[in-house]
Structure 1
Amino acid sequence: MPAELSVGRADESDAPGVGVVAPFDFALDRELWRWAPEDVSLYLTRLPFFTTPVTVEMAVAVADRRAVRRATRDVLTPRPGVVTFACTSGSFVSGVAGEAVLTRTMCEAGAPVATTTSGALVEALHLLGVRRLAIATPYIQPVTDRLVTFLADSGVETVASEGLGLLGNIWRVGYEQVVDIVRAVDRPEADALFISCTNLPTYDIVEPLEQALGKPVITANQVTMWASLRALGRYAVGGGALLGVPLPLPVA
């Protein structure tokens, strides 16, 4: 092996990675990797398995502090530069205060920087100047209602919401069904649309939807990776207006 090639690979392995704490049923590892630059690794770990369907109770259980603390510690071995809690419902179900507790829990467990899907969503909406949002979810209504409340408490009005009413197997939903629900929920007064749940595939449809609807489309996996990579001073790879938001200036 040429010496210069060997050195190049060693340099890549030294690049900060992203630690991902995901629910036990998360099935879209490949989609997360697609948002990452080639030299950034993802280190995924799963939260404990349980049999509860996708309800408010499941979302609360997924965000259990003890489990999140343990998973964060598990994923720190390869020394990621940031750890993210990659679950939308688990990070909004207990409101703004609950999201802050999750972030604090990961930091107390040793994460150098901690982000969550719902916290990233709020940051993205504020940076894009979005005040009125339409949301498409795979959830039953009580879970979707928790998202609406979380957004309201974060200064964002939900002008329309639509859920698929699923209690499981969310990752089996295809692009066509996601596109249909987004088109159904769009309203002229919505500044942007959000597709909730990290178990919904969205990578290839963000840009086409934005072109068709004429407004930003934000998705759970997109915003999760955007915020994680942003914490590393990097841009996510893919489509969508969100990915064009400039990185913060370095502290002098």
Structure 2
Amino acid sequence: MTALGFLYPGHSGEDDYPRIEQLLGSDIRVDLVHTDIGEDAHRVDALLEMGSPRRLEAGVAELRLAGADAVVWACTSGSFVHGWDGAHAQVRALAQAAGLPASSTSFAFVHAAKELGVRRVSIGATYPDDVARLFGDFLGAAGIEVADVVSSGIITAAEVGTWTEAEVLALARAADRPDVEAVLLPDTALHTAAHIPALEKELGKPVLTANQVTIWEGLRLADRRVNAPELGALFTREPVVQA
């Protein structure tokens, strides 16, 4: 049994996790602990506090006691808002507190893009523009070219969690460009687990979504590879050897 531990901020799109667990197979368990987010706001100061060590470490003991093999901070904005170096420090502190391999959704996007051999992407973000562009900067620091950033300007995760499949598809279409190799939808508050095949069929290319890559990152940390076509190209393709 492989047990994957996730620290999830508040309550919004967490339904994706049991849905994905069902697609992974009976020998993989997904353990989710909700962290206290403080203020629900896609605003830099609120996001910095949301991902602060004291808020993350509060949930670590529960995951450790559950027997998790790895832990992932299941939040994109609450990690990339710290910047490239700050996000690394955040993950190091989490690993030290947990005594386990650790990562975050922001790094999950980087590792997933490299897994697929993707070098040029566009971003369809639910966040306000200033926050969305910080994610573009984060990817740029990882050597991933960002062709465009489309922002929906939504302040709260609670509102994002109410989005329908039609709204998710509309965001992905708005972000797509003919010259990008993948479209990224960075918000773990956004329900996407049931929509990935439709998204990739519509765009004709890989679509990486926050909860999808977060689960994949947990598997990567636990040294597990799972074939799950319902979760898109990321879960079906062989690893790409980077030149």
Q: Answer yes or no: is 1:242 the counterpart of 2:234.
A: yes
Inter-CA distance 176–70: structure 2 relative to 1 (3 Å threshold): same
Report if aligned partners of 1:226, 1:236 keep a CA contact under 8 Å in 2.
no
- Which 10-residue stretch deviates more, 54-63 or 189-198? 54-63
Report the TM-score when normalising by structure 2.
Answer: 0.89
Q: Distance in 1 between matches of 2:47 and 2:141?
A: 19
Residue in 1 that maps onto 2:58: 70
* Match in the other structure for 2:132: 144
CA distance in 2, matches of 1:72, 1:219: 24
Correspondence for 1:155: 143
Please give the alpha-carbon distance, in whole angstroms, between the structure 1 residues aligned to 2:227 and 2:3. Answer: 13
Separation (CA, whole Å) in 1 of partners of 2:125 and 2:143: 20
Secondary structure of residue in 1 paired with 2:28: coil
| Contact 1:217–1:240 (Cα < 8 Å) also in 2 | yes
Greater Cα offset, 141-150 or 48-57: 48-57
Cα distance in 2 for partners of 1:239, 1:41 equals 17
Q: Over aligned residues, Cα RMSD in angstroms?
A: 1.8
Instruction: Name the larger-Rg structure.
Output: 1
1:202-221 equivalence runs, <5 A: 202-221=192-211
1:240 CA displacement: 0.9
Q: Is the 8 A contact 1:17 1:43 kept in 2?
A: yes
Please name the residue that 2:112 is paired with.
Answer: 124
1:30 aligns with 15
| Deviation, structure 1 residue 52 | 4.8
Change (3 A) 1:52 1:179: closer
What residue identity is the alignment partner of 1:199? A
Q: Partner residue of 1:197?
A: 187
Whole-Å Cα distance in 2 between the matches of residues 116 and 236 of structure 1?
A: 22
Q: Pick the aligned partner of 1:101 from 78, 89, 112.
A: 89
Whether the 8 Å CA contact 2:227–2:236 is kept in 1: the answer is: no
Contact 2:60 2:97 in 1 (8 A): yes
> How many percent identity over aligned positions?
30
Whether 1:187 and 2:177 are equivalent positions in the alignment is yes
Any idea what the Cα deviations from partners look like across 1:190-223, whole Å, max 9, x if unmatched? 1110011001011122112212222111100000
Deviation at 1:134? 0.8
Shift of 1:236: 6.4
Stretch moving more, 36-45 or 156-165: 36-45
CA distance in 2, matches of 1:220, 1:84: 12
- 8 Å contact 2:37–2:50 — kept in the other structure? no
**Partners of 1:108 and 1:231 in 2: how far apart?**
15
Query: Contact between 1:229 and 1:236, CA under 8 Å: does it hold in 2?
Result: no
Quick one: which amino acid aligns to residue 86 of structure 2? G
Q: TM-score, normalised by structure 1?
A: 0.86
SS in structure 2 at match of 1:19: strand
Q: Assess if the C-alpha contact under 8 Å between 1:139 and 1:165 holds in 2.
A: yes
CA distance in 1, matches of 2:122, 2:36: 32
Q: 1:58 to 1:243 in 2, by over 3 A?
A: same
Structure 1: runs of 5 or more not aligned: 1-14
Distance 1:216 1:28 in 2: 21
Counterparts of 1:236 and 1:201, CA distance in 2: 21
